[in-house]
Amino acid sequence: MEDLSQGPNGVNFALTEYIEKAVASRGLEVISQDAVLSFMTRNRIRWLGFLDTYYVLQARKELGADFILLGTVSQRQERPCAAFGMVLYLIRTGDARTIWSGSMGLSCNEMRNPLGVLEPHTTEDLMPIVVQDLLEEWPEDIGQIRDQKAFFELDDVDMGRQYIRSGEMITCRVWLRSVMDGRPPKVSLKVRGQESFPMQRKDDNFYQASWIAPKEEGPYPVGLSLQWPSGREQATLLGTYRVDNHSPCFVLDLKGVRLNGVVAFRDRIFAIPRFPEPEPISRWEFSVKDETGETILREDKEGSLPSRFYWRGQTGDRSRVADGNYRIDLKVWDRAGNMAMVSEKVALMRNPPDMILEARKQGNDIVLDIQSKGEVPMAFWYMEMLEDDGSLIKTAGGQVLPAEVDLPIPKTSAELLLTARDILGNKLHRKVKDINLLVKHGKERCAPADKWLKEF
């Protein structure tokens, strides 16, 4: 049962089970809740309280249902005074007609008695009273109503796409199982109860009509109308299609480090699509292009959009790409076929930090100047000065470069170990076997490719 008190498309399972038992107590066979939920899943029925004619006919075919009972909780409140209201509709699946409906609302103020005994105080107290009063109006001759022959019986309906854009062709097909009153009727469709489109008879019981989707956006109910030469008329609602001309609106949230207006990453980057107003997506395409515009990776699928994407810096055949700038494109299509695309630039940076060491004597000390020439800021750096036997002479470290470190002049050779890591996670080790040689040469650039060892 639909429960509007819980918000759009809310469901009340407790009320559903209560009504199941109440209907079964009247001698009617009730289809199990599991079978109904499975039917809704197979047919992608996401909204409660209403069924298009197509799904009514499908319920007859798949579940063997003679009737469908739809219900909606229209009011449910506890304060200031408990109140409960609901509406029930009974639909005959043979011709998709509503043969009975009832509505009722009740509050605690209406259930007062002089002694105050057994008065309802909550909606749980009111619910069984409302349900039983509604079912008292249940048709007594429901068996005869089930077997009653209608002027026509729908065998199947095909309305094509439920979501469409202005100017596109809409085609509706109807199959009639049987037609009473002798000669076949004049069959036509009414859209929004106004425009009428005659249906062409393609076969004994098969009718078809096509028309152009209008410019105005919104829902368009489609009704089937039959007129016999005798003057008899019959009409029923087939379903609703929606005209939608607006492309989806979304942004692509990249999880990485933003450098110079571009999101940089080392091993992988996450891309999370975010929609201000969520809507179902029918198809998507994720691609990566290099600086020349060539597509190096592309994946597209029908169906729902994944909650996130990630790229590992690889091509479609999983080979690693070179460091550089790339562009991530995400295209999405809604149910009507409207397309939207968002592009974001990213930078792949796997190279270790580019650093320069300078050393000079100053009095009895050596001044070591450490500089970073790379674009990526440093996360930390750490230095150790060791004697020949491995004894520790001095340590230093920090997060900011350039930096100067005062070191004692060693009596013999001394080894220098320097570790650095940038904010992307690229990590390097630098080893100077004898700092005296560095002082002699004055400057040494730490070449990432051959003098640094990567750590992953």
- Mean pLDDT to the nearest integer, 427-442: 79
Has residue 285 got a pLDDT over 90? yes
Least confident of 95-99, 167-171, 389-393, 403-407: 95-99
- Check residue 168 and give its pLDDT: 94
Same domain for 159 and 206, yes or no, is: yes
Three-state SS string over the chain comes to CEEHHHCCCCECHHHHHHHHHHHHCCCCCCCCHHHHHHHHHHCCCCCCCCCCHHHHHHHHHHHCCCEEEEEEEEEEECCCCCEEEEEEEEEECCCCEEEEEEEEEEEHHHHCCCCCCCCCCCHHHHHHHHHHHHHCCCCCCHHHHHHCCCCEEEEEEECCCCEECCCCEEEEEEEEEEECCCCCCEEEEEECCCEEEECEECCCCEEEEEEECCCCCEEEEEEEEEECCCCCEEEEEEEEEEECCCCCCCEEEEECEEECCEEEECCCEEEEEECCCCCCEEEEEEEEECCCCCEEEEEEEECCCCCCEEECCECCCCCECCCEEEEEEEEEEECCCCEEEEEEEEEECCCCCCEEEEEEEECCEEEEEEEECCCCCEEEEEEEEECCCCCEEEEEEECCCCEEEEEECCCCCCEEEEEEEECCCCEEEEEECCHHHHHHHCEEEECHHHHCEECC
Same domain for 182 and 264, yes or no, is: no
Same domain for 270 and 221, yes or no, is: no
- Mean pLDDT to the nearest integer, 82-91: 86
Has residue 115 got a pLDDT over 50? no
Same domain for 209 and 192, yes or no, is: yes
Report the mean per-residue pLDDT for the chain. 83
Q: Which residue has the tokens 């100017």?
A: 167
Same domain for 189 and 282, yes or no, is: no
Domain with residue 126: its CATH number is 3.40.50
- Mean pLDDT to the nearest integer, 253-275: 90
Has residue 452 got a pLDDT over 60? no
Q: Among the three residues 147, 162, 181, which one is the final residue of a domain in this structure?
A: 147
Q: Which residue has the tokens 């009730």?
A: 30
- Check residue 401 and give its pLDDT: 86
Domain boundaries, position 79: 2-147
- Check residue 203 and give its pLDDT: 79
- Mean pLDDT to the nearest integer, 337-353: 93
Q: Among the three residues 215, 243, 271, which one is the final residue of a domain in this structure?
A: 243
- Check residue 27 and give its pLDDT: 74
Same domain for 183 and 58, yes or no, is: no
Same domain for 112 and 159, yes or no, is: no
Domain with residue 377: its CATH number is 2.60.40.10
Residue 269: pLDDT band (50, 70, 90) is very high
Number of domains, the chain: 4
- Mean pLDDT to the nearest integer, 436-452: 56
Domain with residue 319: its CATH number is 2.60.40.4070
Same domain for 34 and 105, yes or no, is: yes
Same domain for 189 and 272, yes or no, is: no
Has residue 104 got a pLDDT over 80? yes
Which of the listed ranges 87-96, 247-256, 409-418 does the model predict with the highest average pLDDT? 247-256
Q: What are phi and psi of 188, to 5 degrees?
A: -150, 165
- Check residue 444 and give its pLDDT: 52
Q: What percent of the chain shows pLDDT beyond 70?
A: 89
- Check residue 402 and give its pLDDT: 87
Q: What are phi and psi of 435, to 5 degrees?
A: -65, -25
Same domain for 403 and 365, yes or no, is: yes
Residue 447: pLDDT band (50, 70, 90) is very low
- Check residue 16 and give its pLDDT: 85
Least confident of 49-53, 177-181, 265-269, 384-388: 177-181
Has residue 334 got a pLDDT over 80? yes
Kindly report the number of other CB atoms within 10 A of residue 317's CB atom. Answer: 7
Global pTM exceeds 0.85: no
Has residue 454 got a pLDDT over 50? no
- Check residue 366 and give its pLDDT: 86
- Check residue 144 and give its pLDDT: 47
Q: Among the three residues 210, 227, 243, which one is the final residue of a domain in this structure?
A: 243
Has residue 87 got a pLDDT over 90? no
Same domain for 323 and 382, yes or no, is: no
Which strands form 163-164's sheet, in the order they lie side by side?
163-164, 233-243, 218-227, 186-191, 195-198
- Mean pLDDT to the nearest integer, 66-95: 84
Has residue 333 got a pLDDT over 70? yes
CA-based Rg of the chain, rounded to a whole angstrom?
A: 37
Same domain for 333 and 220, yes or no, is: no
